[in-house]
Chains A and B, each alone.
Chain A
C-alpha cells in the first residue's frame, strides 16, 4: 500500500497524448444509421468521417446504400442525403444540413510507413465512438492494412496517424487485419464526384 511508485514521465505524456487524440477523433466521427421516420434514426449500420465543416461526410459505399441518418458527435441526429457512391473503392459521400462541424484534418496516406501508429474510431457493436490502436501492417497499392482490432460497426470510420490526421477510412476486416481505403483515394473521390 505504501510502495513508492516511480512513474516514467514519458509514459504519462504518451497516455495524455493518446487520450487527447482519441477525443479529437471522436469529435469528427459520426454514427451512420438507417433511415428512420422524421428525426428519429434507424438501426446503426456503421461510422463516418466529417470531411468538411459544411456537412460533407464520407463513409463506405457498403455502409450508405441510400439516404441514411447520422448521429453527430454532439448527439444531434440529422438525415443525410447520399450524393455520390463509388462501389469499386467502397466510398460514399453524404451531405447533412449543418455548418461549422468539427471536421477531419486529412493526412497524406502515401507518406505512411510500415510500423507507424494508427488509431481507429467507430461504433463497433453498438458502442459509441470506441477507439482501437495499432500500427500499419503493410501497404499495397490500393489499401492500407493495419494490425488493429476492428469490429463491423467501424466501417466508414476514420483511421488516423499519430498526429490525429485522417489517413484512411476503415472498410473491411481481412484475416484479423483492418483494411482501410487510403485518404488519397478519398480525396480523389471527393474531387471527382463533387466538382462544381
Chain B
C-alpha cells in the first residue's frame, strides 16, 4: 500500500503547494472563473471568461476580495492579464512545459481548491489556435475541466504550474496553454495591452470557384476568399486590392479559409511583404502587400 499512499500524498501535496496562488476571477455574470497569481500583483486567466472589462474583482485563496484592473487580453491565445496590486507575494511556482510527456500525471485545479486528475494525452509542436493565437506547444489533456476551471492552473505531480487550462481555446475542449506561452503573452499584454498580429485591412468570405475558371487558371482549390470590404487606406487598399477580388494564394501557397490567412499573419510578418494571388476579372493577378499591424479593437 505504501506506493499508493505516497502517490496520494504527493497529489494532495501538489494541490496544497499550488492552492495559495489560485484565485477566483469575477469578470462575468455567471459562475466565477479561476485565475493564477503568475507573479506578484499579476493574475492570468482565460480571456473567454472575462466578459466585463470594469469592476473586476478577484477572491484570493485566503478569502480576501480584491479589486483588479484588466491590463490586456488576447483572444488568440485565450489569455487575459489582470493587475491586482494587493495580491501579496504568494505567486505560483512555474514548471517547464517542455518536459511534459504523454502519460504524465497532471492535475487541473480550480478555486477552492478543487481538483481534477488525469494524464497528458498528447503533446505536439507549436500550433495556431483557430483565432490566430501562437501557442508554443500543443498540450492535450485527458481529464475533466469542471465548470469554473477555465483559467486555472495545470500542475504537475510536484505542484508546479505547467499550463493554464482553457475550454475556450479550440473546439477540442481539453487543452492547456503552456507556461511558455502564458509568460510570453502576459509580458506582451503588460507592455502593450494587446498582442500584435499582422493585418491586411480586408474582410473576406469563402466563395465557390466554378470548375471552368479553375481549369482555365490552374487553381487547385475549389474555394477562394472574396473581398467584401477593403479598409480605406489599409495595407491592402494601399497595395491596390479591389472589392470583389478573390484571394486564392498567399506567397504562392493556396488558401481557402480565413483561419488559414490569419494563421499566416503572425506578429513576425508585420512590416514584411506578402504576395497575394487573386482572381480579378476572370484572370490571375498578384498584389504585393506590406503587412500592417492589427489595430486594437477596444480601448482600455
- Please give the residue numbers on chain A whose beta carbons come within 8 Å of chain B beta carbons, in ascending order: 10, 13-14, 16-18, 20-21, 113-117, 134-138, 145, 147, 161-164, 175-177
Contacts and interface: CB of A to CB of B under 8 A. Distances in A.
Interface stretch (B107-115, B209-217, B230-238, B256-264): B107-115
B3 A113 contact: no
Contact of B12 (A16, A116, A147, A175): A116
Given A113-B15, A163-B1, A137 B114 contact: yes
B112 A138 contact: yes
Nearest to A133: B117
A4 B218 CA distance: 53
B18 to A, nearest CB: 9
Given A13-B3, A21-B4, A162-B4, A177 B112 contact: no
B2 A115 contact: no
A161 B8 contact: yes
B4 A147 contact: no
Contact of A138 (B3, B9, B114): B114
B7 interface: yes
Given A115-B16, A116-B9, 8 more contacts: A114-B12, A114-B113, A117-B11, A135-B8, A135-B11, A135-B107, A136-B115, A147-B146
B12 A113 contact: yes
Contacts of A21: 1, 4
Contacts of B281: none
B160 to A, nearest CB: 14
Interface residues on B, range: 20 to 34
B299 interface: no
29 contacts: A16-B3, A17-B1, A17-B5, A20-B1, A21-B4, A113-B15, A114-B12, A114-B16, A114-B114, A114-B115, A115-B11, A115-B16, A117-B4, A135-B8, A135-B11, A136-B115, A137-B115, A138-B113, A147-B116, A147-B117, A147-B146, A162-B1, A162-B4, A162-B5, A162-B8, A163-B1, A163-B5, A164-B1, A175-B146
Binding site of A, secondary structure by majority: helix, strand, loop or mixed?
A: mixed
B181 to A, nearest CB: 26
B8 A116 contact: yes
A135 to B, nearest CB: 5
Question: 10 tightest A-B contacts by CB?
Answer: A115-B15, A162-B8, A117-B8, A13-B3, A113-B12, A115-B12, A17-B4, A138-B114, A115-B11, A162-B4
A135 B5 CA distance: 12
A18 B144 CA distance: 22
B14 interface: yes
Given A136-B115, A137-B114, A177 B12 contact: no
Contacts of A17: 1-5
Contact of B115 (A10, A147, A162, A164): A147
Instruction: Give the most central of A16, A115, A134: most B CB within 10 Å.
Output: A115
A177 B146 contact: yes
A114 B117 CA distance: 11
B147 interface: yes
A116 B2 CA distance: 14
Contacts of B13: 115
B117 A135 contact: yes
